[in-house]
Chains A and B, each alone.
Chain A
Amino acid sequence: MDESITLHVDGRKRSLTVDTRTTLLDALRERLGVTAPKKGCDHGQCGSCTVLLDGRRATTCLTLAVAHDGAEVVTADGLAEGDSLHPVQRAFLDHDGLQCGYCTPGQVCSAVGMLAEAAAGWPSHVTRDGAGRVELTDEEIRERMSGNLCRCGAYPNIVAAIREVAR
C-alpha cells in the first residue's frame, strides 16, 4: 500500500510515494539516492544507518518512512558546509578514525548527535551522580557511542577524534 510523504533531506525538500513497508533507510538509499547512511545489520544493532532525524541521532533501519512525513533528515552528506567539513568529519580524518569507512557516516552522525546530548547535560550509563555539566571522558565517549560498531576496530582513533571535538 502506497503513501505520499515529504522529507527534508540535507536541506532539500523531497516528495515521494512509498510502500508503507519501506524503512526510512531504504527510502533514503533506494528511492532518493542518498547513500550516506549505510545498511549494515538492518536490525538496529550496528548503527551504520544513523542520521540526525529532527535534530536527534536515530537509526533509520528500525523506523518506517511513512511515520516521518515532514521530518528533517541530516545525513553525513549534509553535515559539511560546501567544501568545508564539519568539525567531527575533519577530526575523523585527522585521527584516522576509520579503515574501510563503511560505518563512518553513521559514526559521524552519531557523534554529532551525542555531542549535542552531552552539551544539554544528558547523563549516560557511566555518568557519576550529580546533574550539570557532562565531562566527555574516554569512558563517557565509549559508552555514548556503543550503538555504533566498527568491524575494522578503529575505536581508539574514533574516540580520539570525538575527544578532540568535545574539548
Chain B
Amino acid sequence: MNPFEYRRAMDATAAVALVTEHPGAAFLAGGTNLVDHLKLGVARPDLLVDVSRLPLDTISSLPDGRVRVGAAVRNSDLAADPLIRRRYPMLSAALLAGASGQLRNLATTGGNLLQRTRCVYFQDVTTPCNKREPGSGCSALEGYNRGHAILGASEQCVAVHPSDLAVALTALEAEVQVLGPAGERTIPIGELYRLPGDAPERDTVLSHGDLITAVDLPELPMAACSAYRKVRDRASYAFALVSVAAAVDVADGVIRDVRIAFGGVAHRPWRATRAEQLLRGEPATETAFAAAAHAELAPARPLAHNAFKVPLAASTLVATLRGLTEEGR
C-alpha cells in the first residue's frame, strides 16, 4: 500500500476544498470498497479525506413530500428505516440484498453509489484493464466474462456496475445532491452514471473534488408497490448476475404506470424505458410483461460466457412484475 496522509473533514465545504486542491486526494467514507482497493493497489491516493463523520447522516422528509437521505447514512440504517420501508420497499430490499450485515453497518449511501466494478480484471493489477489503466486493453472482452455486460458495453470495457442501491434509485428517479469546487448542483441519477464508451475509467459524470452530500427520493405513491429481485450464484452475500427494481400502479387490471431498472447487465443501472412505454396502458398479464422484457432486451449483445443473462433478465422482470401485480389484486 502506498503511503498516504489522513485528514478528517469537519465540514463538507472544507472537505471539497481539500480534495480539490490535491490531485492525488480521495474521499473516504465507510471504506469497504476503497480500503480493499488500497490493499490491491487499484487505488493509490496520497491523501484521504474522511467524510464519514460529516453531519450528513440523517433521513428527513422534505416539505414538498420528497425524502432526503444524507450521504453518510449507513446502508443498514437506510434499509431499516420505517419511512423507507413503507414508501420505498424496493430501496430497503435492494440494500438488504447486498453485502453482509457487518459491511452494511460500515458502508454509506454515497459510498455505495460510488463503489466500483467487481470485474476480476479491474481488481487484478497484473492484468490489462482500460478502466484501471486507460489504454492498456480489456482483459474481459475475450476473457472470463460470465458476470459482464450485455447492454451498452464498448470494445474498451464490458464491466457492470455492482450497486444494488443504485438500481432501485434509478427506477425511482432519485436526485443526487453534489457539492463541488463550484458549489452545489443536482444530478438526476439517470444522468450520474456513464456508459463506458472510450473513457471507461470514468464511472460517473462527477469530477475530482465532487462530493455526494445527499440523495433525494421523489414523492412517488406507486413506489409503495415496488420490489427488488436479485439473482445470484448463491442465496446470500454475492453480487447480482441480474437484478430488477420495479414499481407498478395497476387499476382494474391495467398498468397505469410502471418503473423498471435492471442491475448486473450494464456499466450503469439500466433504466428499462422501452419496456415501461410498452407496458403503460396494457393489461397486467404475463404476456404483456414478457413482450416488454423481450423488447427491452432486443439490443442485448452477450459475450462468450454470459448469453444466459438475456433470458435470465427477461424472466426476472416477468417474475418481479407478476409478484407485484398479484399482490396488488
Among A53, A63, A121, A146, the residue within 8 A (CB) of B35 is: A63
- Please name all residues of chain A whose beta carbon is closer than 8 Å to the beta carbon of B32 when the two chains form the complex: 44, 59, 62-63
> Is B52 among interface residues, defined by CB-CB distance under 8 A?
yes
> Is B106 among interface residues, defined by CB-CB distance under 8 A?
yes
Q: B5, B6, B50, B52 — which one has the most chain A CB atoms within 10 A of its CB?
A: B6
Among B35, B76, B237, the residue within 8 A (CB) of A122 is: B76
Among B6, B39, B236, the residue within 8 A (CB) of A125 is: B236
- Taken together as a complex, chains A and B put the C-alpha atoms of A20 and B103 apart, in Å, by 21
Known: A20-B4, A67-B50. A62 touches B36 (CB 8 A): yes
**B102 and A58 contact, CB distance less than 8 A:** yes
**A142 and B236 contact, CB distance less than 8 A:** yes
Among A3, A62, A67, the residue within 8 A (CB) of B103 is: A62
> Is B318 among interface residues, defined by CB-CB distance under 8 A?
no
**B6 and A63 contact, CB distance less than 8 A:** no
Interface residues on B, range: 35 or more
**A62 and B6 contact, CB distance less than 8 A:** no
- Taken together as a complex, chains A and B put the C-alpha atoms of A53 and B102 apart, in Å, by 10
Q: Which of B254-307 contact A (CB under 8 A)?
A: none
- Please name all residues of chain A whose beta carbon is closer than 8 Å to the beta carbon of B52 when the two chains form the complex: 67
- Taken together as a complex, chains A and B put the C-alpha atoms of A129 and B198 apart, in Å, by 44
Q: Which of A28-75 contact B (CB under 8 A)?
A: 42-44, 47, 50, 53, 56-59, 62-64, 66-67, 69
Known: A47-B102, A50-B102, A67-B50. A62 touches B5 (CB 8 A): no
Q: Least Cβ distance of A18 to chain B in Å? A: 10
- Taken together as a complex, chains A and B put the C-alpha atoms of A87 and B270 apart, in Å, by 47
Which residue of chain B lies nearest to A51 when distances are taken between CB atoms in the complex?
A: B102
> Is A131 among interface residues, defined by CB-CB distance under 8 A?
yes
Which residue of chain B lies nearest to A63 when distances are taken between CB atoms in the complex?
A: B31
A-contacting 9-mer, from B93-101, B169-177, B200-208: B93-101
- Please name all residues of chain A whose beta carbon is closer than 8 Å to the beta carbon of B85 when the two chains form the complex: 123, 131
Q: Least Cβ distance of A113 to chain B in Å? A: 7
> Is A114 among interface residues, defined by CB-CB distance under 8 A?
yes
**B80 and A47 contact, CB distance less than 8 A:** no
> Is B3 among interface residues, defined by CB-CB distance under 8 A?
yes
Q: Contact mask B219-236 → A, CB, 8 Å, 1/0?
A: 000000000000000011
> Is A21 among interface residues, defined by CB-CB distance under 8 A?
yes
- Please name all residues of chain A whose beta carbon is closer than 8 Å to the beta carbon of B212 when the two chains form the complex: none
- Taken together as a complex, chains A and B put the C-alpha atoms of A147 and B82 apart, in Å, by 24
- Please name all residues of chain A whose beta carbon is closer than 8 Å to the beta carbon of B39 when the two chains form the complex: 42-43
Q: A42, A44, A110 — which one has the most chain B CB atoms within 10 A of its CB?
A: A44
Known: A120-B80, A123-B79. A144 touches B5 (CB 8 A): no
Q: B31, B76, B101 — which one has the most chain A CB atoms within 10 A of its CB?
A: B101
- Please name all residues of chain A whose beta carbon is closer than 8 Å to the beta carbon of B93 when the two chains form the complex: 125
Q: Which of B180-222 contact A (CB under 8 A)?
A: none
- Please name all residues of chain A whose beta carbon is closer than 8 Å to the beta carbon of B312 when the two chains form the complex: none
Q: Which of A103-145 contact B (CB under 8 A)?
A: 110, 113-114, 117, 120-125, 127, 129, 131, 142-145
- Taken together as a complex, chains A and B put the C-alpha atoms of A63 and B237 apart, in Å, by 19
> Is A100 among interface residues, defined by CB-CB distance under 8 A?
no
29 contacts between A and B (CB under 8 A): A19-B3, A20-B3, A20-B5, A20-B6, A21-B1, A42-B39, A56-B105, A58-B102, A58-B106, A62-B35, A62-B103, A63-B31, A64-B31, A66-B6, A67-B6, A67-B52, A69-B8, A117-B80, A117-B101, A123-B79, A123-B80, A125-B93, A125-B236, A142-B236, A145-B101, A146-B235, A146-B237, A147-B99, A147-B102
Interchain residue pairs A-B with the least CB separation, the first 4: A147-B100, A146-B236, A146-B237, A122-B80
B-side interface residues toward A, CB under 8 Å? 1, 3-6, 8, 28, 30-32, 35-36, 38-39, 48, 50, 52, 76, 79-80, 82, 85-86, 89, 92-93, 96-97, 99-103, 105-106, 235-237
A-side interface residues toward B, CB under 8 Å? 1, 3, 19-21, 23, 42-44, 47, 50, 53, 56-59, 62-64, 66-67, 69, 110, 113-114, 117, 120-125, 127, 129, 131, 142-148
